[in-house]
């Protein structure tokens, strides 16, 4: 049980909290008036193959019910149909992908391998997928949204891409990211801003925002993302937030399970490397486990993904809010959705979920910001010059439209120069709080527990609105600090027609519990909803 004493907010922090709330409220009023009903409508999905799980598409390809070329062409058509409105897909390898799809079909037609052999050796044969522009794909740009890297071309595939291609999957292109993948709205000065498929005046999240958007719009069969923000990547919620905002499933694996080789920027310490992780982003929960098994490589055996999970024997805990300062309140639609999940598990599986009030979660942001500190200055990743004055000059240039950097990346660089220095007493204090919080979760979850928690306090905000609520990503960020696996599960649409959902968290290397609960909730609540 968490018995940590949380001191009352200081007067200074209370003032900051009130001012931030006022500014955020004014920003919402302005955005509502400015955007009105300006959002573009997407064309409907005309190819039914795009509405099927990737593993089902793979089965149909190897059984000659449909060809890889047909699936690829359906993805290309969909990308071309939606990208002018969404700006999520930034570079293609369509011609190479067509050649690879044709080769996959020829292999199947040759009869040199049975369907059973193909399923065992190349379970994703002929299935198209995408990844974001910070994960290396040989021959494509590898910019991470940084203007200084706009001409960088990847010389080889990232490890996760190699593993997927070895199993027959076909990479078709790259999706958009925020500058240096360190913000939760996808926008950079190379490719511009990405729009939400459910309402193009809203954000898609970050850093796997373009990937989450493309998956939500049914532009490829699956993606990889990174949990900084598909295969995707995640260091503060970069898989789960875009999955949440775009109405799909996204899984952040347990720490040190999926290789980060080929990701830019690469963490320079083992500690930071343990917070970052690549993971699958899909429209269907059933695809998560086979994809995770592949990209985990030799570490897959640590997860025992094929071990059966009896949902009825799980212990379920939940918490509606962390009540942290400077963070928005959790939206009533999200709270209502979580209550429905608790009721569903009780009615179907006789599970009596236990509500928790883990006080240390109020310290999510200072813990995350401390653990993200690095001895190398952040601006060295995005600017030619270093130093506080160089950042200030670049901010001024941004305000007059002369900077290659986004304003939020420059403010992040400025913030990085504040806070507790690495190794200082304050720094060590927050590391100890992190360790204490991790122990609380480990003791609570054991090997048969899951924790239900908001992925984000609100549905997708309007463009630029995150500037007035910058710390709202704390609900995902803290899970990275703890190294725990977590899966974002869509639970329908809000009263505004935007996706909502929750994240399911389990103990270290118990990813299969998250995935099993995700599949169960998909059956109960419908999962991904086609954007209308």
CA angle 30, 36, 41 (to 5 degrees): 140
pLDDT of residue 519: 98
Domain presence at residue 362: yes
Residue 432 per-residue DSSP state: H
Q: Which domain holds residue 297?
A: 50-373+419-525
Q: What SS3 state is found at 172? A: strand
Distance CA(485)–CA(302), nearest Å, equals 13
pLDDT of residue 2: 57
pLDDT of residue 4: 58
Domain presence at residue 436: yes
CA 23 to chain centre: 27
Domain presence at residue 380: no
First to last CA, the chain: 45
Domain presence at residue 198: yes
Q: What is the dihedral of CA 473, 478, 483, 487, to 10 degrees?
A: -50
Active-site residue flag, 321: no
**Quick count: other Cβ atoms within 10 Å of Cβ 277?**
31
pLDDT of residue 230: 37
Q: What SS3 state is found at 260? A: coil
Residue appearing with tokens 């993805």 = 75
Domain presence at residue 409: no
CATH number at residue 170: 3.90.1300.10
pLDDT of residue 233: 40
User: Catalytic: which of 68, 160, 220, 238?
Assistant: 238
Residue 164 corresponds to which tokens in the numbers above?
């997927």
Residue appearing with tokens 């949380």 = 6
Residues 6+ apart with CB under 8 A from 323: 362
Distance CA(243)–CA(231), nearest Å, equals 12
Q: Are the C-beta atoms of 220 and 130 separated by less than 8 Å?
A: yes
Distance CA(316)–CA(445), nearest Å, equals 9
Active-site residue flag, 132: yes
Q: What SS3 state is found at 410? A: helix
pLDDT of residue 43: 97
Domain presence at residue 351: yes
Domain presence at residue 349: yes
pLDDT of residue 227: 52
Domain presence at residue 18: no
User: Catalytic: which of 207, 233, 259, 321?
Assistant: 207
Q: What SS3 state is found at 449? A: strand
CA 245 to chain centre: 10
pLDDT of residue 80: 98
Q: What SS3 state is found at 6? A: coil
Number of domains in the chain: 1
**pLDDT tens, the chain, 532 aa long:** 455 567 677 888 889 889 999 999 999 999 999 998 889 999 999 999 999 999 999 999 999 999 999 999 999 999 999 999 999 999 999 999 999 999 999 999 999 999 999 999 999 999 999 999 999 999 999 999 999 999 999 999 999 999 999 999 999 999 999 999 989 999 999 999 999 999 999 999 999 999 999 999 999 999 987 654 333 344 568 899 999 999 999 999 999 999 999 999 887 777 667 667 799 999 999 999 999 999 999 999 999 999 999 999 999 999 999 999 899 999 999 999 999 999 999 999 999 999 999 999 999 999 988 887 776 788 999 999 999 999 999 999 999 999 999 999 999 898 888 777 778 899 899 999 999 999 999 999 999 999 999 999 999 999 999 999 999 999 999 999 999 999 999 999 999 999 999 999 999 999 999 999 999 999 999 999 999 8
Which of 244, 303, 299, 217 minimizes the C-alpha distance to 45? 217
pLDDT of residue 375: 67
pTM for this one?
Answer: 0.96
């Amino acid at each position: 049980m968490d018995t940590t004493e949380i001191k009352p907010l200081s007067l200074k922090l209370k003032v900051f909290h009130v001012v931030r709330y006022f500014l955020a409220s004014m920003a919402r009023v302005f955005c509502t008036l400015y955007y009105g009903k300006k959002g573009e409508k997407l064309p409907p999905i005309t190819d039914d193959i795009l509405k099927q799980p990737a593993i089902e598409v793979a089965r149909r390809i190897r059984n000659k019910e449909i060809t890889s070329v047909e699936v690829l062409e359906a993805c290309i058509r969909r990308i071309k149909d939606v990208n002018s409105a969404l700006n999520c897909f930034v570079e293609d390898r369509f011609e190479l992908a067509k050649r690879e799809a044709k080769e996959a079909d020829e292999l199947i037609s040759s009869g040199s391998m049975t369907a059973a052999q193909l399923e065992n050796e190349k379970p994703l044969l002929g299935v198209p997928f995408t990844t974001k522009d910070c994960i290396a794909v040989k021959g494509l740009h590898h910019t991470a949204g940084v203007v200084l890297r706009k001409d960088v071309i990847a010389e080889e595939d990232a490890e996760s891409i190699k593993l997927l291609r070895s199993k027959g999957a076909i990479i078709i292109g790259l999706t958009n990211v925020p500058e240096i993948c360190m913000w939760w709205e996808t926008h950079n000065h190379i490719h511009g801003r990405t729009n939400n498929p459910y309402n193009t005046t809203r954000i898609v999240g970050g850093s796997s925002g373009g990937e989450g958007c493309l998956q939500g719009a049914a532009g490829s069969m699956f993606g990889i993302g990174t949990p900084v923000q598909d295969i995707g990547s995640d260091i503060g919620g970069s898989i789960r937030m875009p999955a949440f905002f775009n109405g799909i499933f996204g899984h952040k694996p347990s720490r040190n399970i999926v290789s980060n080789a080929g990701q830019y920027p690469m963490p320079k310490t083992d500690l930071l490397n343990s917070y970052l992780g690549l993971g699958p982003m899909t429209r269907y929960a059933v695809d998560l486990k086979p994809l995770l098994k592949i990209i985990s490589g030799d570490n897959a055996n640590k997860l025992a993904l094929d071990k059966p999970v009896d949902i009825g024997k799980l212990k379920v805990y939940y918490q509606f809010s962390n009540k942290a300062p400077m963070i928005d309140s959790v939206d009533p639609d999200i709270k209502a959705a979580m209550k429905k999940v608790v009721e569903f598990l009780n009615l179907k599986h006789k599970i009596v979920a236990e509500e928790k009030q883990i006080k240390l979660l109020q310290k999510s942001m200072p813990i995350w910001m401390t653990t993200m500190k690095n001895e190398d200055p952040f601006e060295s990743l995005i600017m030619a010059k270093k130093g506080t004055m160089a950042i200030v000059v670049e901010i001024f240039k941004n305000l007059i439209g002369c900077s290659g950097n986004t304003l939020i990346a420059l403010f992040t660089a400025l913030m990085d120069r504040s806070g507790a220095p690495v190794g200082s007493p304050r720094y060590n204090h927050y590391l100890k709080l992190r360790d204490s919080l991790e122990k609380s979760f480990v003791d609570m979850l054991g090997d048969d527990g899951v924790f239900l928690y908001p992925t984000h306090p609100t549905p997708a905000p309007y463009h630029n609105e995150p500037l007035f609520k910058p710390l709202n990503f704390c609900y995902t960020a803290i899970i990275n600090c703890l190294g725990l696996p977590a899966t974002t599960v869509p639970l329908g649409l809000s009263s505004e027609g935007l996706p909502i959902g929750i994240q399911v968290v389990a103990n270290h290397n118990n990813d299969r519990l998250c995935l099993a609960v995700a599949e169960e909730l998909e059956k109960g609540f419908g999962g991904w909803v086609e954007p209308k």
